Amino acid sequence: MNLRLDTERVPSHFTPSFDLEFNTKAMLKACLLTEGIRLHASCVDLLPRKPFYSIVTEGIELEVNGDFFVNAPIQIHSPRELIVNNGHVLIRTEKKEYPVRCLPASSVLLETNVPANRPVSDYCSISTDRANIWPVDGCHFAACKKPCRFCDVGFGPDSYQSMDQSLTINALKAVIQDTSLPVRHIQVTGGTPASHHWDHFVEVTRQALKTELPVSVMTSPTTPLSILDELYEAGVDELCVNIEFVSEDLRSKLCPGKASVTWELLEKIASKWPRGKVRSAIIIGPEKKSTVLKGIRRMAEIGILPVLSPFRPVKGTPMSSFPGPKSEDLYSIYIEACNISEKYGVMVGPLCNMCKHNVMAI
């Protein structure tokens, strides 16, 4: 029997040295997400060696003042600096210092997944306390010339194939056994499978469920409803179906594979799951604030947790020179999103505090 993830009980690693107001935390997180962090020479050794997966997870993972988690991209011109002072790791700004903890990276990821003679990281990744596995390598949308215009998978190596199930589960088990940063849950994720690979996707999810850790699934809203039903019946804890953009027009242009996604479809998906157990990401940056807020309200109404994902440009994609959001815009959208969500009895997602590291939520 799989456990549900206890989202409130994040392992505490240090006692905050002072109380921060909610708005101060939110503004600091918005700044770290958008402007990143500069590294002082004293903390270079702190950086964990970790494999590269994606632009949205490549930054340094920090727990700030025991209050929130953030994946801060390393940027040499950032006004905020990470520094070690008298053995304490701090974020230093012009006016203040905040104690932080750098999250370790599991060295198991760099080891060999023995049966395959390839690194474990080719089969499994870790985001804070969550192990991620992907039943297919690449994305079917890219294979059929409809990749999302911002995505490093869609514009990555020109290959699409299913992953070997036993090698994936072998890597997952190796990561779970490592105790350097205990894995508390699993996400089945990756690119969108071709129609003949959905059964494989469900089977890999079933295998992940056998670990008895809570399992969430991140998949396209275009996933057949019968597959989503199977995943729910199998015991999947949470579902993430990313709409990416609120406006159907922009979505068609930037995510042609998701052009058929409608609000009616999202409502239908959400109606099958317990309220609040479905979330969906909106990319913050390319759309007007008023449009984004309209989408957040629509999600909250139908019981979907809105997830605010700040746009990060990826080299090699058509949106590589598109700017990310300004910190004050990200902050103000978040504050309004909190008010809207509260009114409808949901929250800004995701539910898991550590999984909030690369999105705008505290």
**Smallest separation (angstroms) from ligand SF4 to the CB of 219:** 9
**Smallest separation (angstroms) from ligand SF4 to the CB of 56:** 10
What are phi and psi for residue 265, nearest 5 degrees? -65, -45
Q: Which is nearer to ligand SF4, 178 or 244 (CB)?
A: 244
Q: Which is nearer to ligand SF4, 207 or 220 (CB)?
A: 220
User: Burial of 233 by CB count in 10 Å (0-12 exposed, 13-18 middle, 19+ buried)?
Assistant: exposed
**Smallest separation (angstroms) from ligand SF4 to the CB of 258:** 7
Q: Which is nearer to ligand SF4, 153 or 175 (CB)?
A: 153
Helix axes 198-209, 165-177, angle to 10 degrees: 30
**Smallest separation (angstroms) from ligand SF4 to the CB of 202:** 18
Q: Which is nearer to ligand SF4, 106 or 220 (CB)?
A: 220
> Which residues fall within 8 angstroms of residue 95, CB to CB, at 6 or more apart?
none
Q: Which is nearer to ligand SF4, 98 or 134 (CB)?
A: 134
- b/e 247-263 (16+ beta carbons within 10 angstroms → b): beebbeebbbbbeebeb
Chain residues that interact with ligand SF4, rule: CB under 6 A: 139, 141-142, 147-148, 151, 153-154, 191-192, 220, 255, 257
The helix (run of H) or strand (run of E) holding residue 186 is: strand 185-188
**Smallest separation (angstroms) from ligand SF4 to the CB of 117:** 26
Q: How far is CA 343 from CA 297, 333, 337, 346, in A?
A: 9, 15, 10, 8
